[in-house]
Amino acid sequence: MVCCNDDPNPLVAGNGFRKLEAAGIEVVRHVLEEEGRELNRRFFTFMEQRRPYVILKWAESADGFMAPAAAGPYWLSTQPQNCLNHRWRTEEAAILVGSETFLKDKPSLTPRHYIGPAPQPIVLDRRGRLSDVPAHWLHLCCQTIPEVLQELYESKIQSVIVEGGRQVLDAFIACGLYDEVRILRSPQPLGSGLPAPEIPPIDSNHLIIIDP
Ligand SMILES: NC(=O)c1ccc[n+]([C@@H]2O[C@H](COP(=O)([O-])OP(=O)(O)OC[C@H]3O[C@@H](n4cnc5c(N)ncnc54)[C@H](OP(=O)(O)O)[C@@H]3O)[C@@H](O)[C@H]2O)c1
């Protein structure tokens, strides 16, 4: 048997190997170790850093805005980008937005353009302003991003995709608590509005930019 990584959980590390070897099965460890860590990056982040793996995601117009100045519905992403975004949602345990996005967009945060499990929706509401948060959402009143991630860790949430808005993305960026950045770029300019964040420092293999 070949295996990429040892389990970082001290309660189980090595037990499986010992059982296999006791049964006469040769075990070859540390094969493609880096690739194994990348494949299981959510689990390793959760076990080693005691927080969920964090993906920052936003859509931006061709001229770098993430929302128009005027109120009202708007769409930045193309249909294929929407499908990809919804596939991304099915791959994470939770999805998180700020209270302003909740109030302005009334998002459902479901993966309705893709088939797969729905992530746990979360809204951050430090001042407790929101009264109509659906019962199945996590409605968090934590004051800081480290506190938010501690709460998610305690709820055994291994990964979260942060879908905005700008203030909440900035808060994760300011404390350096993110592992991946994904940007969907629209073919259309908006002319004015809420500027999208600057791309924060990130390894190139953890930055995905989808151009139209
Ligand atoms: N293009 C995109 O990908 C995209 C995605 C999402 C939203 N949007 C747009 O973005 C706009 C909303 O963005 P926004 O920047 O105004 O608001 P936001 O980031 O959605 O929400 C900001 C609010 O979140 C609450 N919050 C809770 N914890 C926080 C923390 N640790 N740090 C910062 N804020 C925290 C704060 O209110 P309390 O102090 O009351 O808690 C704050 O006012 C909307 O127009 C929406 O349409 C665009």
- Confidence grade of residue 71 (pLDDT, cut at 50, 70, 90): confident
The finding on whether 105 has its CB within 6 A of some atom of ligand 1 is: yes
Looking at per-residue pLDDT, the higher value among 7 and 122 belongs to 122
Q: From atom 7 of ligand 1, which residue's Cα is the shortest distance away?
A: 165
CA of 7 to the centre of ligand 1 (A): 37
The finding on whether 53 has its CB within 6 A of some atom of ligand 1 is: no
- Secondary structure string (H, E, C) spanning the chain: CECCCCCCCCCCCCHHHHHHHHCCCCCECCCCHHHHHHHCHHHHHHHHHCCCEEEEEEEECCCCEEECCCCCCCCCCCHHHHHHHHHHHHCCCEEEEEHHHHHHHCCCCCCCCCCCCCCEEEEECCCCCCCCCCCCCEEECCCCHHHHHHHHHHCCCCEEEECCCHHHHHHHHHCCCCCEEEEEECCCCCCCCEECCCCCCCCHHHEEEECC
The mean per-residue pLDDT over the stretch 84-107 comes to 97
Which structural domains are found in the chain, ordered by start?
1-39 (no CATH), 49-210 (3.40.430.10)
What are the backbone dihedrals phi and psi of residue 81, each rounded to the nearest 5 degrees, phi first?
A: -65, -40
Q: What pLDDT, on the 0 to 100 scale, is given for residue 11?
A: 83
- Could you read off the pLDDT of 137-191 as tens digits, one per residue? 999 999 999 999 999 999 999 999 999 999 999 999 999 999 999 999 999 999 9
Q: What pLDDT, on the 0 to 100 scale, is given for residue 143?
A: 96
Q: Give the pTM.
A: 0.97
Q: What pLDDT, on the 0 to 100 scale, is given for residue 140?
A: 98
- Could you read off the pLDDT of 17-28 as tens digits, one per residue? 899 999 999 999
How many other β-carbons are positioned within 10 Å of the β-carbon of residue 97? 20
Residue 162's DSSP bridge partners are 56, 96
For the chain, give the percent of residues with pLDDT over 90. 91
Q: Is the pLDDT of residue 8 over 80?
A: yes
| Burial degree of 186 (CB within 10 A; 0-12, 13-18, 19+) | buried
- Could you read off the pLDDT of 176-194 as tens digits, one per residue? 999 999 999 999 999 999 9
- Confidence grade of residue 201 (pLDDT, cut at 50, 70, 90): very high
- Could you read off the pLDDT of 111-146 as tens digits, one per residue? 999 999 999 999 999 999 999 999 999 999 999 999
CA of 23 to the centre of ligand 1 (A): 55
CA distance 184 to 19: 47
CA of 154 to the centre of ligand 1 (A): 24
CA distances from 207 to 81, 125, 199, 203 (A): 16, 28, 9, 7
The finding on whether 66 has its CB within 6 A of some atom of ligand 1 is: yes
